[in-house]
A and B are shown apart, each in its own frame.
Chain A
Amino acid sequence: MTDLTHLTISEARAKLRGKEITAAEITEAYLAAIERANPVLNAYVTVTADKARDMAKASDAKLATGEGGALEGIPLGIKDLFATEGIHTQACSHVLDGFKPRYESTVTTNLWADGAIMLGKLNMDEFAMGSSNETSYYGPVINPWRRSRVETVVMPTTHQGDGGFVSAGGTKTARTLDNAQLVPGGSSGGSASSVAAFLCAGATATDTGGSIRQPAALTGTVGIKPTYGRCSRWGIVAFASSLDQAGPIARDVRDAAILLKSMASVDPKDTTSVDRPVPDYEAAIGKPIKGMKVGIPKEYRVEGMPEDIEALWQKGIAWLKDAGAEIVDISLPHTKYALPAYYIVAPAEASSNLARYDGVRYGLRVPGKDIVDMYEKTRAAGFGREVKRRIMIGTYVLSAGYYDAYYLQAQKVRTLIKRDFENVFAAGVDVILTPATPSAAFGIADEDMASDPVKMYLNDIFTVTVNMAGLPGISVPAGLDGKGLPLGLQLIGRPFDEETLFQTANVIEQAAGRFQPEKWW
């Protein structure tokens, strides 16, 4: 029997509806996989086994009568940023110690209404601030992918043909896994790691500067950040409200389309939720891209970018060309200013959003000699280093005398970044193809990144422009580097044109194939 955890959502959906498998069986398979793997990968911070079993039972009852929803019986992992009623919701921060919301986020409400099953809450960078999942109060998440070396081994004659390529001379090339542990990217590191390691069928994630697309790229999974306003932000712990968007991480493009359809909605509880019906994203998959105009921005060719990534980008261009797309060189002149502008706008909004963690209404309280002392001690103990750093930057750039020089300047630059994209789309470009990240997965506790916060920030150099302009972007696995690690390509679309992203990403996926890590955990 096939391992139920290896089914894609679309495959599991067919088998559940066809009564070949039950929701209880697939849920048990995932719970068992989590129990084995989580002590090593640390992807889940809470496993809701009892709730999952209850939900599976309810799903099986619905499936038996044929009234199941679009995700009936599909087990999912939920990023710890989403409020889930009565269940651990801490944005992986100590400051929200013990917080169990009395309400449910709109995105998760939509998923449960469609019949999905909750397996638990997923690890993430504290308050979604990070690109490696190392800032979590609950410790780093481990990437199921490891580097490997290609070696030529002489085969003992008795073992010939057990995998690998057997050569006439009795030698074969084999990949040997390196033991070094790698990061899954961040901030949705738990989401990406759990999807790649078959610990959930799909996961919710959020993206403020690249937090869906970067971890997806580093784990060989598909991640889409939809247009700002497509998914309701109600019940999602706020980081930078003008940039935050929810989206799915999934094992293939079709699964990402299925999940986004359920997650997205028009929500009166979020004033930035846009009044547009949610299309059937899955219907875009398989549509030809003949005649589509694909833009290649020259500003994304950055200094020091590994050759593997440049080569992969060229491959992506060739695949789309072969499928009949027209490739055009474009320019997005303000690209290099997106990251510095982001590191003013996002911390400014964060310093304001995180002011609510004061030891009064929820979470941690550290006693002090008076109320201000209590606030200061609570926040000093509750926030980790990276979060403090960003609150401090935000407080500084918004403080009297600096507002115009920093914040206003950054918001003007943001207008220019958005205008770059508008010009390109107005010239007839349908979709933009770029690398998703400037490197493959790196080591846990990488010394270079730990010593300089800006080095870590550079991970988001290709993804952050999309948040600044509010556009949709998808990361799709496109190949492996020389060390056997996955790399992703990013597609950027017009506002609310997620369908074109799914359509084009599917062409890349068909050409590149699918990638899964060799199991060592």
Chain B
Amino acid sequence: MSVDLQTVKRVAHLARIAVSEEDAERMTGELNAILGFVEQLNEVDVSGVEPMTSVTPMEMKKRQDAVTDGNKAADIVANAPATDENFFLVPKVVE
């Protein structure tokens, strides 16, 4: 399988990365090189093989559903580019 310019632009939008015409053209070539390289996986007979979900055979650890942390609003917004009274500020999303 290979991608065309339109697909690259669509994927870039899905990934929320702005691309110029020139970027998209370059990426088309690069992505096709990588997709061409991974194509060889199709040779492998995987009938009856389970997809891997965890490399270590272990049960996911669970813990008591109790509050162990909190009251850190100031820490959480400390690195944000724009805040107001412990809220993250973003461009208007609803009219």
Task: Report A's interface with B, CB cutoff 8 A.
Answer: 98-103, 227-229, 242, 268, 271-275, 334, 336-337, 340-341, 343-344, 351, 355, 358-365, 367-377, 379-380, 383, 388-389, 391-393, 395-396, 399, 402, 405-406, 408-416, 418, 452-454, 457, 468-470, 495
Q: Is the CB of B81 within 8 A of A359?
A: yes
Q: Is B5 an interface residue (CB 8 A)?
A: no
Q: Is the CB of A340 within 8 A of B15?
A: no
Shortest beta-carbon distance from B60 to chain A in Å? 5
- What is the CA–CA distance of A414 and B90 in the complex, to the nearest angstrom? 41
Looking at A242, A340, A343, A351, the one whose CB has the most chain B CB atoms below 10 A away is A340
Q: Is the CB of B16 within 8 A of A392?
A: no
Residues of B within 8 A of A412 (CB): 44, 46, 49-52
Closest to B77 in A: A361
Q: Is the CB of A365 within 8 A of B55?
A: no
Q: List 17 A-B contacts (CB under 8 A).
A: A102-B79, A273-B61, A274-B56, A337-B41, A344-B38, A351-B15, A358-B16, A360-B81, A361-B79, A365-B82, A370-B91, A373-B18, A388-B27, A399-B11, A409-B42, A412-B50, A453-B33
Q: Is the CB of A340 within 8 A of B55?
A: no
Shortest beta-carbon distance from B12 to chain A in Å? 7
Q: Is the CB of A268 within 8 A of B3?
A: no
Residues of B within 8 A of A360 (CB): 80-81, 88, 90
Q: Is B75 an interface residue (CB 8 A)?
A: yes
- What is the CA–CA distance of A273 and B82 in the complex, to the nearest angstrom? 35
Within 8 A of A (CB), among B1-16: 1, 3, 7-8, 11-16
Residues of A within 8 A of B37 (CB): 340, 343, 454, 457
Closest to B72 in A: A102
Q: How many residues of B contact A (CB 8 A)?
A: 52
Q: Is the CB of B18 within 8 A of A271?
A: no
Q: Is the CB of A392 within 8 A of B12?
A: yes
- What is the CA–CA distance of A375 and B81 in the complex, to the nearest angstrom? 13
Residues of A within 8 A of B66 (CB): none
- What is the CA–CA distance of A101 and B75 in the complex, to the nearest angstrom? 9
Looking at A98, A399, A402, A418, the one whose CB has the most chain B CB atoms below 10 A away is A399
Shortest beta-carbon distance from B61 to chain A in Å? 5
Question: Quick one: CB contact mask for B24-61 with A, threshold 8 Å, 1 for yes?
Answer: 00010011011101111110101001111111101011
- What is the CA–CA distance of A320 and B49 in the complex, to the nearest angstrom? 36
- What is the CA–CA distance of A228 and B58 in the complex, to the nearest angstrom? 11
**Of A336, A359, A380, A418, which contacts B17 at CB under 8 A?**
A380
Q: Is the CB of B56 within 8 A of A413?
A: no
Residues of A within 8 A of B92 (CB): 370-371
- What is the CA–CA distance of A363 and B81 in the complex, to the nearest angstrom? 7
- What is the CA–CA distance of A452 and B15 in the complex, to the nearest angstrom? 23
Residues of A within 8 A of B35 (CB): 393, 396
**Of B30, B31, B44, B91, which contacts A374 at CB under 8 A?**
B91
- What is the CA–CA distance of A411 and B52 in the complex, to the nearest angstrom? 5
- What is the CA–CA distance of A361 and B80 in the complex, to the nearest angstrom? 5
Residues of A within 8 A of B12 (CB): 392
**Of A362, A380, A395, A413, which contacts B18 at CB under 8 A?**
A380
Q: Is the CB of B30 within 8 A of A389?
A: yes
| B contacts with A: majority SS | loop
- What is the CA–CA distance of A418 and B27 in the complex, to the nearest angstrom? 32
Known: A409-B46, A418-B55. 10 other contacts (CB 8 A): A100-B78, A229-B56, A272-B54, A365-B82, A370-B92, A376-B17, A392-B31, A396-B7, A399-B14, A412-B44
**Of B15, B33, B79, which contacts A363 at CB under 8 A?**
B79
- What is the CA–CA distance of A271 and B58 in the complex, to the nearest angstrom? 10
Q: Is the CB of B34 within 8 A of A415?
A: no
Residues of A within 8 A of B38 (CB): 340-341, 343-344, 406, 410
- What is the CA–CA distance of A101 and B8 in the complex, to the nearest angstrom? 34
Residues of A within 8 A of B50 (CB): 412, 415
Q: Is the CB of B93 within 8 A of A383?
A: no
Residues of B within 8 A of A376 (CB): 13, 16-18
Residues of A within 8 A of B30 (CB): 389, 453
Residues of B within 8 A of A355 (CB): 16
- What is the CA–CA distance of A171 and B80 in the complex, to the nearest angstrom? 66
Closest to B63 in A: A268
Residues of A within 8 A of B42 (CB): 409
- With A229-B58, A343-B34, A360-B88 known to touch, is A413 a contact of B15 (CB < 8 Å)? no
Q: Is the CB of A102 within 8 A of B75?
A: yes
Residues of B within 8 A of A495 (CB): 56
Residues of B within 8 A of A402 (CB): 1
Closest to B79 in A: A362
Q: Is the CB of A396 within 8 A of B52?
A: no
- What is the CA–CA distance of A457 and B35 in the complex, to the nearest angstrom? 13
Shortest beta-carbon distance from A61 to chain B in Å? 30
